Structure 1
């Protein structure tokens, strides 16, 4: 490792230290949900673990209000718990000795360094040779402090930080022939959040049988551990909670999915005339039921087309671009497209931009920056129907990124 590369690592480490200090003793609502779920399981209130507000999108579950202040103080609140029961069971013993702030501190000590390490992994995977690692690290730090995707993930101390690292780690291990480690990493990511299970396709496309076996065995072991610790009842409650999420639609500039875009169009066209289009977050409980299944089918077809387009590419390039494409398909075509879901494609974006004509690459990068909520938030008072319009704009830009990926694949490798 050169002196410049060592300095790049030190720069990322220094950023991680200051970011942990900035997050210290915070009460991130997303992560706090895991602490609350563990506390409920430990104190015999497992029936409330998957409680949620009406329509899901409404902040803290009302059933938690009576004890939230006792757990974390008057300023404490948590979003609903929508993770597999395993994490409530693993968190339960810790809730007896640390509060939500201490729990957040402990997780930040793990997750922020993982985000810094993700920069190095992304550099190994897709950094153009002309870009020194120190420049790559500096640009990544600038993005972490200004772009909405990493900022939202850090604000909430979101487990997406860990799953993003695990997907990148799996890709890096595959490039080094360690397919078992890649399978184990993807299994752990899928146990934290279900959607990373789709990235097993990167093992399939390369015919990594040992990696697939490791993924299957580790996944089965984690599922068995979850059932043993939490019982089948909580797993049924988890599935019911996922169904509740699918029954409502949130139109918000931090939820960029095609389902959210459909809701935005319904608001703008007056199909939902009782909705104030100037509301910051718009919850629609009654979009046509066919929209969700149709988007799922469309996502499958897009993934199949991407698979077909990558079949003749070199193995490492095929894995990288498939992972990048899946990082777009999951939030765009799924029931939710939280901005922090786009952290993985943001880190891998140079893999696409380096394959585009310079003008197209600059234009696409500028469009992503221009539609970031960190930039647009100040414009809200000046733009009528800001939320649905900016939701549509954000979804359109990430759809353009997906279209650009297919366009790039039409060019020679």
Structure 2
């Protein structure tokens, strides 16, 4: 029902979107066609689109009145490849009214400090806390959101309203609760609503911030998670960080990074294909050092990307190799045998050493904490050749440490 409702809403919204025209809806029918027992049709969700905050399109006073009616307001920034500098006036007017949730891939697109450890934070919530912190209004902007926990939370505890703000005016109903689409540049939207927000005290943003500050960064023994943290802690502040998909992009959210670091990631449909190629293409036109943090399956799937002829010395590939797709071992309810592990996790014993050196990379490897700490200063320093650091870990131990971390969480 939710999916059908969304499709019909999207179709009807196109009737008068940048012009008027017909739309076509196919409704499959099956016999018997008559004798329906329902006395009346159910109430259904209607999604409304505002084409900008423009009185000539639609009076938006009622929209602002609803905005001011809510006390538990949340703003979520998805993936965005820019660093936006808010005017101080706008930041002062809007920041304190919302709980701001972002991921590294959102980059610097909020007017103040954001909550970036919310995925881990949600794991600690009791059902009572989830209900208490349920937002009344969620406003989203930007693209992809990585966190499955956030999506699951807002589907289980949906807001009264979800507004999506996008310059293209497309509907993004990721929580199954979309009510309003506002076709406007997100930053113009914030500048416009800032002066229209009622000047009153709200405690909701502070509740999220206090919980976020109370949750310390994790400290892992030598593992994939520890290696990710070790790299992120020493990244040059003026650099580009490319996050591979699957485990890597999630482990990176455990740790803070300087807001000056530009974070990129070819999310696609959250698959592993093309993330290395995209990162190398970006680095070829970038003046910054480009650090590519990737897992073994992502790397080997796209290894021919190293064949291109214009890889520059600003490329640093940090390859996590634990012999397969260990994230599949952590899926709840899936107890793998040795046979299923071979196919599901694509277990292997391959190293990137030969291929990296063949393609002109300087190669280093690490198999323990000492070797990793010795390699990192060389890896992040200047060099005349591109660099690949391959970090070997044990995937069974990686999963054990990850599960132990989540099991021990409390705030």
TM-score (norm 2): 0.26
Q: Which has the higher helix share?
A: 1
Q: Which has the higher strand share?
A: 2
Larger Rg: 2
